[in-house]
Amino acid sequence: MGNKKNIAVIMGGFSSEYEISLKSGAVVCKWLDPERYRAYPVVIGREAWEFKDPDGNTFPVNRHDFSVALPTGTLHFDCVFNAIHGAPGENGLMQAYFELIGMPQTACDFYASALTFNKRDLLSVLRVHHVPCAPSYHLDKGQEIRIEEILNKVGLPCFVKANRAGSSFGISMVREASELPTAIAHALREDDEVLIETALQGREVSVGVIRYQGQTRVLPITEIIPEGDFFDFEAKYEGKSQEITPANLSEAEADRVRELAARIYDTLKLKGYSRSEFILVDGIPHLLEVNTTPGLTEASLLPQQARAAGISLQELFSSAVEEALAKK
């Protein structure tokens, strides 16, 4: 294997998911095949884009061509591995920039990223394609909060979510009408658009769909059993939930979830990794959301699912890079 490829692993970002993204990025750097790639951690922040060398020195990224001037010469990258959760790595901004400068990157393209990141728009588009989802109500910052109108549409209990945020930030479960204003204020701290949905009663499952060795591949399904009311931040990152992979579903239920997850991936023309969350209501999967840069820490769902499918982290990450390079 002659020339090793230089891979920029971008992490960080502008959202509440900054720290989680740094962990994902570190895992990618650790597991990218050293025989084939040289991994370089690049932290994307609001103030600066910087490469950090092993000694802790930082070097700014030249945004003209995403190169880095090092004392030893200019570092050019062959490909970008996107490990940013939330803005600007999951909402299309970085994808559009890389497309403009002609740099291959591992996530889906800018339009698919922007669409999936906007939960309201995503559900509106997928309803047309007969994807079941919860009844919902849309509210923007500054709009009058009409409690009665909201409850007529979604009922109680309901979920109030920041429309464009991940990792369960800005989300509350509301059981009493009196809790709605507080929950809406909480969501508005993360985003100026809010999505209010009926709290569907059923089993929650999560499934990764990836491009792997040139094929669309549905990974084993995970069932999430939260200790609390729903899969919130603590459940996700502090171990307060049971995650069962592969999920103990009937064959018919598992088939429906897999079929729907693959159909969504193909309908939206996704690339790279995706992870979709569903609630099974009477055996029918209802879509909650689609993540296009899912968590990649050892504890994250997508790596758990890959492991259950017999795919190591090294194979999982290498495949994403090869897929991105092949598109060039």
5-105 matches 114-132+202-327 in fold: no
Break the chain into its structural domains and give their ranges.
5-105, 114-132+202-327, 136-198
Of the candidates 225, 228, 278, the residue with the CA atom closest to the CA atom of residue 253: 278
Q: What is the pLDDT of residue 230?
A: 57
- What is the third-level CATH fold of 5-105? Rossmann fold (3.40.50)
Domain at 114-132+202-327: CATH architecture? 2-Layer Sandwich (3.30)
Look at residue 214 in the predicted model and tell me its pLDDT.
86
* pLDDT tens digits, 163-208: 987 656 788 999 999 999 999 999 999 899 999 999 999 999 999 9
Per-residue confidence band for 327, with pLDDT thresholds at 50, 70 and 90: confident
pLDDT of residue 75: 98
Closest CA to 97 of 106, 110, 112: 110
pLDDT score at 168: 64
CATH superfamily membership of 136-198: ATP-grasp fold, A domain (3.30.1490.20)
- Contact criterion met (CB below 8 Å) for 275 and 294: yes
Q: For the segment 134-166, what is each residue's pLDDT rounded down to a tens digit?
A: 999 999 999 999 999 999 999 999 999 999 876
Percent of the chain with pLDDT over 70: 94
pLDDT at residue 240, as a whole number: 64
